[in-house]
């Protein structure tokens, strides 16, 4: 609420054009709206067409069903991450638009047409066992109306597939790189591609990977410039941030 708008309102009060009650309501809402707006910015629940997202882990099927029922009242797309087939069974009784991705363990309900973006996001992954995380990136980016190109299984053992596609990947606006174990792939991608690289360490592995720690530390200490990192296994976070950058 800028100064000119503020003057305007007070002028209206002074001039009797606005009732005191309306003024009170307006000012009482001042902070609220500001913060609801923040909330909107964050959850985007009220902007038409903007996806509404539910983090499914640690929520009961009942809770998720309840949240989805509530969300169904809006015209927004809906994304439930870290969910299960059981939840899907419940939800598709509410709507037959629900789609379950059994690799990403996501449930999406698309109500709007897919508006393909001008730019695209490249999603690069090291191995097939990283796919649950990689697919979470893709499902997230797509529900936010981004065009996504997959370059899977291009880790060290198949690094030539990365080099084969390096010129293709350079055309993306932002690159998400998913890798477990030593987490070396983002360094290589970051060294070859002059675009922002979002690195996602995965907990896939055993022994000295200590639940994703090896990949995480490797990515954080990457010698390549232009690389930043999200939490271990946080495919949603990477997809969300990639969408944000892709749409700048």
Name which position in 92, 112, 150, 191 contacts its own copies (CB under 8 A). Answer: 191
**Binding of its own copies by 219 (CB under 8 A):** yes
C-alpha 189/C-alpha 161 separation (Å) is: 12
In the bound state with its own copies, the residue whose beta carbon lies nearer, of 3 and 113, is 3
In the bound state with its own copies, the residue whose beta carbon lies nearer, of 104 and 188, is 188
Name which position in 123, 138, 175, 184 contacts its own copies (CB under 8 A). Answer: 184
**Binding of its own copies by 57 (CB under 8 A):** yes
Q: What is the distance in angstroms between the CA of the first residue and the CA of the last residue of the chain?
A: 25
**Binding of its own copies by 206 (CB under 8 A):** yes
In the bound state with its own copies, the residue whose beta carbon lies nearer, of 109 and 233, is 233
**Binding of its own copies by 173 (CB under 8 A):** yes
135 φ/ψ angles, rounded to the nearest 5 degrees: -65, -30
Please choose, out of 73-81, 93-101, 145-153, 182-190, the segment that lies near its own copies by the rule CB under 8 A: 182-190
Measured over the CA atoms of residue 188, residue 164, residue 116 and residue 85, the dihedral's sign is negative
Determine the Cα angle at 238 with ends 235 and 243, to 5°.
125
Cβ 133 vs Cβ 235: under 8 Å: yes
Please choose, out of 83-91, 108-116, 146-154, 220-228, the segment that lies near its own copies by the rule CB under 8 A: 220-228
Query: Which stretch of DSSP H or E encloses residue 189?
Result: helix 185-192
List C-alpha distances in Å: 128 to 101, 179, 199, 205: 16, 10, 17, 12
C-alpha 181/C-alpha 205 separation (Å) is: 6
In the bound state with its own copies, the residue whose beta carbon lies nearer, of 138 and 193, is 193
Please choose, out of 87-95, 106-114, 145-153, 188-196, the segment that lies near its own copies by the rule CB under 8 A: 188-196
Instruction: Please report, as residue ranges, which positions from 107 to 126 form the binding site for its own copies (by CB under 8 A).
Output: 126
Residues forming beta bridges with residue 148, ordered by sequence position: 121
Cβ within 8 Å of residue 177, ≥6 positions away: 124, 125, 126, 185, 186, 189, 197, 198, 199, 200
C-alpha 10/C-alpha 3 separation (Å) is: 11
In the bound state with its own copies, the residue whose beta carbon lies nearer, of 107 and 242, is 242
Residues forming beta bridges with residue 99, ordered by sequence position: 108
Name which position in 70, 116, 168, 221 contacts its own copies (CB under 8 A). Answer: 221
**Binding of its own copies by 212 (CB under 8 A):** yes
**Binding of its own copies by 13 (CB under 8 A):** yes
Instruction: Please report, as residue ranges, which positions from 16 to 45 form the binding site for its own copies (by CB under 8 A).
Output: 16, 20, 23-24, 27-28, 30-32, 34-36, 38-39, 41-43
């Amino acid at each position: 609420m800028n100064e000119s708008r503020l003057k305007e309102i007070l002028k209206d009060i002074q001039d009797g054009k606005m009732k005191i009650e309306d003024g009170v309501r307006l000012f009482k809402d001042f902070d609220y709206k500001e913060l609801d707006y923040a909330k909107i910015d964050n959850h985007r629940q009220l902007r038409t067409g903007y996806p509404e997202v539910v983090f499914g882990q640690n929520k009961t099927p009942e809770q998720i069903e309840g949240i989805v029922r509530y969300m169904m009242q809006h015209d927004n797309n809906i994304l439930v991450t870290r969910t299960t087939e059981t939840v899907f069974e419940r939800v598709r009784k509410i709507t037959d638009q629900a789609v379950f991705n059994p690799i990403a363990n996501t449930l999406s309900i698309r109500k709007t047409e897919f508006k393909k973006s001008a730019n695209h996001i490249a999603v690069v992954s090291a191995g097939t066992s990283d796919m649950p995380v990689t697919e979470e990136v893709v499902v997230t980016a797509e529900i936010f109306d981004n065009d996504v190109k997959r370059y899977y299984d291009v880790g060290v053992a198949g690094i030539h597939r990365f080099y084969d596609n390096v010129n293709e990947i350079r055309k993306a606006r932002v690159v998400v790189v998913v890798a477990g174990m030593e987490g070396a792939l983002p360094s290589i991608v970051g060294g070859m591609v002059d675009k922002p690289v979002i690195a996602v360490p995965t907990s896939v592995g055993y022994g000295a990977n200590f639940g994703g720690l090896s990949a995480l530390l490797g990515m954080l200490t990457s010698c390549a410039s232009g690389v930043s990192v999200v939490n271990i296994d946080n495919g949603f976070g990477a997809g969300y941030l990639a969408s944000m950058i892709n749409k700048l």
